[in-house]
Structure 1
Amino acid sequence: MSKPDRRAYIKAVQCLRTLPAKSDKSWAAAAKTRFDDFVAIHVNQTTYIHGNGLFLTWHRYFVWAYEQALRNECGYKGYQPYWNWFANTDDIYKSPVFDGSDTSLGGDGAYFSHNGSLAGARTIVIPSGKGGGCVASGPFKNTQANIGPISPGMQGFTDLAVDTTDYNPRCLGRDISVYIPKTWFTTANLLNVTIGSGSRTHRDFWVEIQGRYPDGFLGLHTSGHYTSGGDATDLYSSVNDPAFFLHHAMLDRIYWIWQTLHPAEANKVTGTLTLQNRLPTRDATIDEPLNMGVNGETFKIRDMFNTLGGSPLCYIYL
């Protein structure tokens, strides 16, 4: 994106943070802004949209719905950008997403002493970075988060929220990791999920992109959240960090590439209806509803397979 395009995107995101929330206060009393509506529905749906059959398509729809809100409610004329994980892996602080300039999504958090983060269902230790506290530079320096944290991976959070009814205003925190990009954002891992052994079937891709935690493999999805660190490490309320949508746009881009390369597997689903089937449920089907709350109408998984289907999606990636 050009710098003027980045500024236009940032302006729209900040606009969404000024508009009043639309979510029903009976379940989302902590949601104060339209941006919070997206945080709230993600928190509310967390155990039904991760580690299961809805993961890939629900988040595809989520990012698209967010882009529509930026356009229709805040006058944004551009497109949803993605964060190319594989750029700036040698120095993540130089990433245009996190360099702290006025065209970034803010820099690192202020230094906050903590014992790193626990990722991969709290089985993989991530060393602490130089931050951990409030974002200290860039357009989102003074951003207020209202919902969460509920289950943060970064250690040191003390004021936890219960759910979306628990209003908990605080600053947006980050602890940018230099360790993760060098460890998991590798060419080998990219090739594995697109043309390698981790790409052969939908199940292979679904497992590999999310991570093989017992093997100590974080996976590209979790790696993105823990590269941002801080609030982004919370499985429930990670949406508080605006980098969430660039991260998940990149995840969707990889999914889109994989679908293009594997047409026989492209329209399949893997998993049940719950997070890692901890609450045992049946296998998901392509007719499962995708609940977006006030952020969009309810579509089915099958409606999200084709990004050029026009009902509702109509986009490609470059």
Structure 2
Amino acid sequence: MRVTSALFLSVVSATSIPSNVHSRAEGIPLSEFGTFAAITPEEAKSGADLLDTDFSTLERRATQGLPLSSFGTVHSVTLEEAQAGVDLIGTNFTLLPISGNPLKPLVTGLLDEISSILPRDTGDCANPNIRFEWDDYSASDKQAYVDAIQCLHNKPASGQWSPSQNRWEDIVRIHQSYAPNIHSKSTTQQTHKFLLWHRYYVWAFEQILRDECGFNRAMPWWDEKKWAGKFAQSTLFTDQYFGIMSGPTNNAGTCVTTGKFAGWQLSLGPGYTVNNPHCLQRAVNEDITAQTGQSSYDTCMARTSYPDFHSCVEFSFHAQGHNGVGATMADAIASPGDPTFFMHHLYVDYVFRKWQINDISRRTTISGCADNVNCSPLTLDTMVYMGNLCGAKCPDLKVRDLLNTLQGHMCYRYNY
């Protein structure tokens, strides 16, 4: 795109006009008018109008990836470190108080044993929405889902989350704004609201898709452990849907140029930056995505207390899923800019719910740190803030309202 401008070499104001101008009959001297800045046709052909400014850099910002170092990484531990409990060093979470009324193991075991024989009143919602794994989703459903996401990117911003540039960036902006309070600072400065906040965030995203873009299908989730070490080969990253997964280009992110989100421009991130136009970009590293597999899943599922499970999830396969996709996704602050974020966190929530199903007390009790500075106790009455992201459907809620996906504010489960 050519950029041109006209500059006045002299400016004539009302106060600078001589007092006798209006009374004289002859014309005003040409020198008082000045001239527009100009070049000859010969100078234009030689590019004289481009001296001092390389306007091509304006376009390159939109078509070239940013250095990978600008995105940073999500705090992580290796599978071996998770198995060794490295993420538990510094705080003995088992000493923190448990909020709620956990059933005794004997009673819990008995209830689980007879549940297949006698129905029991659990207070669960009657007709939960079912979230289907991506490969169990029809082609029509897949297309409707990515179309609804594109719809949000095309819609104007609400104005509530300035300086977002569109409705999609409203969703990115709340994550960017709340990031200091919803992520652990390190393995020794943790907040265990992470899983609960993101559960609510993904649910809010679903409501926005439905209410504002007419999405009327079941919600998908992505079983990414079966694609560990081969994300780029998954049925998610195709020309029709999320776009081909690319590696880095010259140690920078690679702009997404295929799929429904090809050519997307973002203005938020990396980190806390705003008004920073750049392309949606990825830089897959399959050595890192390999850390998201069955072994990581099994390691976290084996943990018995909520904070221990939470710590394992946040720092192992959750972190490695972000870092493995790379670039926009590796930015812990503004990573929702990539729609892959929600498929990844739908998987994280799937694992969370599976862990809760294994013990009924995990749906009625909580413990851990409510903040990542002083580790104040996380209780059933701890507030989780969503800032009315999806309007009246998204009030700030207590942990007790989010702990069970079949009770309280939400009503959904996964297809397996």
Is the structural similarity TM-score above 0.5? yes
Equivalent position to 1:101, from 227, 239, 242 = 239
State the SS of the aligned residue for 1:316.
Answer: strand
**CA displacement at 1:147 relative to structure 2:** 0.8
Moved more, 293-302 or 262-271: 262-271
Equivalent position to 1:21, from 130, 136, 157 = 157
What is the CA–CA distance in structure 2 between the aligned matches of 1:142 and 1:270, rounded to whole Å?
Answer: 44
Paired letter, 1:180: I
Q: TM-score scaled to structure 1, two decimals?
A: 0.79
State the SS of the aligned residue for 1:66.
Answer: helix
Does the 8 A contact of 2:293 with 2:317 survive in 1?
no
In the alignment, what sits opposite 1:243? 340
**CA displacement at 1:280 relative to structure 2:** 2.6
State the SS of the aligned residue for 2:215.
Answer: coil
Paired letter, 1:142: G
What is the CA–CA distance in structure 2 between the aligned matches of 1:304 and 1:297, rounded to whole Å?
Answer: 12
Equivalent position to 1:208, from 287, 302, 312 = 312
> Number of matched residues?
269
In the alignment, what sits opposite 2:93? none
In the alignment, what sits opposite 2:177? 44
What is the CA–CA distance in structure 2 between the aligned matches of 1:21 and 1:288, rounded to whole Å?
Answer: 30
Bigger radius of gyration: 2
1:162-241 paired onto structure 2 within 5 Å? 162=273, 166-182=274-290, 184-194=291-301, 196=302, 199-211=303-315, 219-241=316-338
In the alignment, what sits opposite 1:66? 205
What is the CA–CA distance in structure 2 between the aligned matches of 1:265 and 1:220, rounded to whole Å?
Answer: 21
Paired letter, 1:257: K
Does the 8 A contact of 1:23 with 1:294 survive in 2?
no
**CA displacement at 1:192 relative to structure 2:** 2.2
Aligned-pair Cα RMSD in Å: 1.8
Aligned CA distance change for structure 1 residues 314 and 67 (closer, same or farther; 3 Å): same
Alpha-carbon deviations, 1:211-232, whole Å to 9, x = none?
A: 2xxxxxxx01101111211111
Aligned CA distance change for structure 1 residues 233 and 172 (closer, same or farther; 3 Å): same
Paired letter, 1:186: G
Instruction: Give ranges in structure 1 of 5+ residues lacking alignment.
Output: 115-130, 151-160, 212-218
Equivalent position to 2:385, from 270, 291, 297 = 291
**CA displacement at 1:88 relative to structure 2:** 2.7
In the alignment, what sits opposite 2:366? 269
In the alignment, what sits opposite 1:86? 225
What is the CA–CA distance in structure 2 between the aligned matches of 1:256 and 1:281, rounded to whole Å?
Answer: 24
**CA displacement at 1:12 relative to structure 2:** 0.3
**CA displacement at 1:292 relative to structure 2:** 1.4
Equivalent position to 1:307, from 387, 392, 405 = 405
Equivalent position to 1:56, from 177, 195, 199 = 195
Alpha-carbon deviations, 1:117-144, whole Å to 9, x = none?
A: xxxxxxxxxxxxxx72211321111111
In the alignment, what sits opposite 2:254? 133
Does the 8 A contact of 2:232 with 2:246 survive in 1?
no
Instruction: Give ranges in structure 2 of 5+ residues lacking alignment.
Output: 1-136, 185-190
Does the 8 A contact of 1:290 with 1:300 survive in 2?
yes
2:142 counterpart of 1:2: no
State the SS of the aligned residue for 2:322.
Answer: helix
Aligned-residue sequence identity (percent) comes to: 31
What is the CA–CA distance in structure 1 between the aligned matches of 2:305 and 2:156, rounded to whole Å?
Answer: 43
Paired letter, 2:239: S
Aligned CA distance change for structure 1 residues 68 and 223 (closer, same or farther; 3 Å): same
**CA displacement at 1:14 relative to structure 2:** 0.4
**CA displacement at 1:205 relative to structure 2:** 0.5
In the alignment, what sits opposite 2:77? none
Paired letter, 2:170: D
Aligned CA distance change for structure 1 residues 249 and 80 (closer, same or farther; 3 Å): same
**CA displacement at 1:92 relative to structure 2:** 2.0
State the SS of the aligned residue for 2:227.
Answer: coil
Does the 8 A contact of 1:109 with 1:136 survive in 2?
no
What is the CA–CA distance in structure 1 between the aligned matches of 2:306 and 2:247, rounded to whole Å?
Answer: 41
Does the 8 A contact of 2:229 with 2:288 survive in 1?
no
State the SS of the aligned residue for 1:264.
Answer: helix
Does the 8 A contact of 2:227 with 2:293 survive in 1?
no
What is the CA–CA distance in structure 2 between the aligned matches of 1:189 and 1:13, rounded to whole Å?
Answer: 30
Q: TM-score scaled to structure 2, two decimals?
A: 0.61
What is the CA–CA distance in structure 1 between the aligned matches of 2:173 and 2:231, rounded to whole Å?
Answer: 29
State the SS of the aligned residue for 1:86.
Answer: helix
